[in-house]
Chain A
Amino acid sequence: MELNETIHQPVRLRIMAALVALDPGSTFNFVDLRGLLGVTDGNLGAHILKLEEAGYISTKKKFIARKPCTFIGVTSKGRAAFEEYVDSLKAILPQK
């Protein structure tokens, strides 16, 4: 079965899972997302770029206490693609 290749990569999969688990419209702080996933800045940045190019996530920069912070949220297109991806995974597993 064909799976969405953009999402079907361990780090990107967990990024999407973390973002989709939040309430719609919520955004995750880059630093906290990095800590949650246990990846480096560069690694996370590269995967975020890939997901952003696919239109699955959006990023927003804000200044908090005069420091730039990046917040990442899932788009409706990304949420739909992720749900489709999860359905595809479930379809692979034997039906109970």
Chain B
Amino acid sequence: MESTQRDASQALQDIEQAGEKAKRMSLYKGADLIYMVWGVAWLIGFVVQHFSRDFTLRFGDFSMHGSGWAWNIVVPIAIILTLIIGRRRSAVQSAVDKSIGVFWWLLFVYFALWVTVLSPVIDFQQLYTAEGQRVLLAGIILVPMFAYVVMGLFGYGRYMLWLGLGITAANVFGLLVIPNWYYLWMAVMGGGGLFAAGIFARQAWRRA
């Protein structure tokens, strides 16, 4: 088949455009809703924690600061929704995605392992106080944000890098500079940031 230079140039442009669209769809479709789910989960978790910061759980003689009760509900729901969305809405299925899923589980196992290993030297009484719970939550947040940074560096969209760094910075700032407003601050910056990332991802794949 004879082909002119103009045809060839057009074909190469088509290839580039189709490839770009496919990559965008692969990166963002499904991820958009997952970010939104976690954005809402964080928003609810932090807002409830702010307004129930004087809440105390009592078990006989034992009492502990219990402002974080809402997390026990919103996190399992968000995890279940993430698994369902990931399975039903992703445009692309790849071995890399499965590896990322394993990476996330391993990351939390790693975190839990260190908590177990260090348990003899952790002052759990301190963790049951209002300040201890705040520090614990801020520490937990650093784990998924580190994962975002790693994923952003390794081809999962540069926006993940900035999202991870941005929420990490907001987290540290809130904890150290405005501890009394930490929960509301993180509801806006963390929950809002994740939800905004979802909107960005949605627009990115819809442009595809």
Interface residues of A (CB under 8 A from B): 1-3, 5, 8, 10, 13-15, 17-23, 25-29, 32-33, 36-37, 64-65, 71, 86, 89-90, 92-94
Cα distance, A93 to B96, chains bound together (Å): 36
B50 CB–A CB distance under 8 Å: no
Check A71–B93 contact: CB distance below 8 A: yes
B88 CB–A CB distance under 8 Å: yes
What DSSP secondary structure best describes chain B's contact surface?
helix
A–B Cβ pairs within 8 angstroms, 15 of them? A1-B2, A3-B1, A5-B1, A14-B14, A15-B18, A17-B17, A23-B94, A23-B96, A29-B92, A32-B25, A33-B91, A36-B208, A86-B12, A86-B15, A93-B12
Check A90–B12 contact: CB distance below 8 A: yes
Chain A residues whose CB sits within 8 angstroms of the CB of B4 once the complex forms:
92
Check A17–B3 contact: CB distance below 8 A: no
- Determine which of A1, A14, A15, A22 lies in contact with B3 in the assembled complex, contact meaning CB atoms within 8 Å: A1
Check A2–B1 contact: CB distance below 8 A: yes
Interface centre among A33, A71, A92 (most CB of B within 10 A): A92
Cα distance, A2 to B14, chains bound together (Å): 19
In the complex where A3-B3, A8-B1, A22-B26 touch, is A28 in contact with B91 (Cβ < 8 A)?
Answer: yes
Count how many pairs of residues, one from A and one from B, have CB atoms less than 8 Å apart in the complex: 98
How distant is A95 from chain B, measured CB to nearest CB, in Å?
12
Cα distance, A29 to B92, chains bound together (Å): 6
Check B91–A89 contact: CB distance below 8 A: no
- Chain B, residues 68-97, CB within 8 Å of chain A (1/0): the string is 000000000000000000011011111110
Check B15–A25 contact: CB distance below 8 A: no
